Structure 1
């Protein structure tokens, strides 16, 4: 099983690249954002609470997210691997994920971080906000708060995986195909190591 964390700030292209990687490698996309949005769409109590937190540019509590991830892993016992998108975002989440995966006799193979300049991120998110209806992409203030939150909380996650030699920066601006090619090169090496 090859488990990869696709890392990067909001608007870095994680969702787009995850879709391409899933198709190529047969991995299962585990997007905490998608899991949460489906709860919000269903207007569950968890979804409504999450929406309040997300609308303020803040992160949803760890125990909620870890529980959703554990259920998703259990529901897919034959998976070739997972792409984690949008999680972990803090050192505590990284440690909780490592423990959860160890219990399930697997681990993270690599963290691939999409690196995109901040002005490009803001432009991408505001454009997405015009078409997606996502309230967390609707204003520049909220977008900037999300980017600041990302940098404040997630830099330690990069350090966590870097100490195990699992963290790799990938140029995240350019064409979708160029970025996909860079990601594929890294994953091809991981897949060949597992064979």
Structure 2
């Protein structure tokens, strides 16, 4: 079975990402055979600002929290990043988590589900650049969720109800299928590493 980690890229109280990540996992389980999907919530790892004395590429992790994160990332064949867009980029907590480890990301595939005023498009573009440096192959298809079209928001200080448009499930399924296919295609590289 191909294992895909769904990385919930925000830890902010009242975040919308939890409902989105659960939707990704549900659609994946229902529509994409041959793969298992598991949500990795950055809030569960409680990573501080990068505090390892050696560069991550050396793989000499001295902190228990880093070792726990490295083990989690190493256990997956690919990833789906669920990210909001903060100030035209990714949340700091997500960038920090990406920077903590290196080899554990290599030769894996990734897809994206962004959300925000512009569907998280700029956050996704930044993630593509970051992940290329970590040797992660990113698929072309992506899901962009609009705060106005895919969420019912009655109070701007609350996350509102996640109500994705009908077309979003098909876009998500396509992206998940591509991510799983690429993760499977990259398996010989991971095994040879």
The TM-score, its normalising length taken from structure 1, stands at 0.44
Greater strand content: 2
Greater helix content: 1
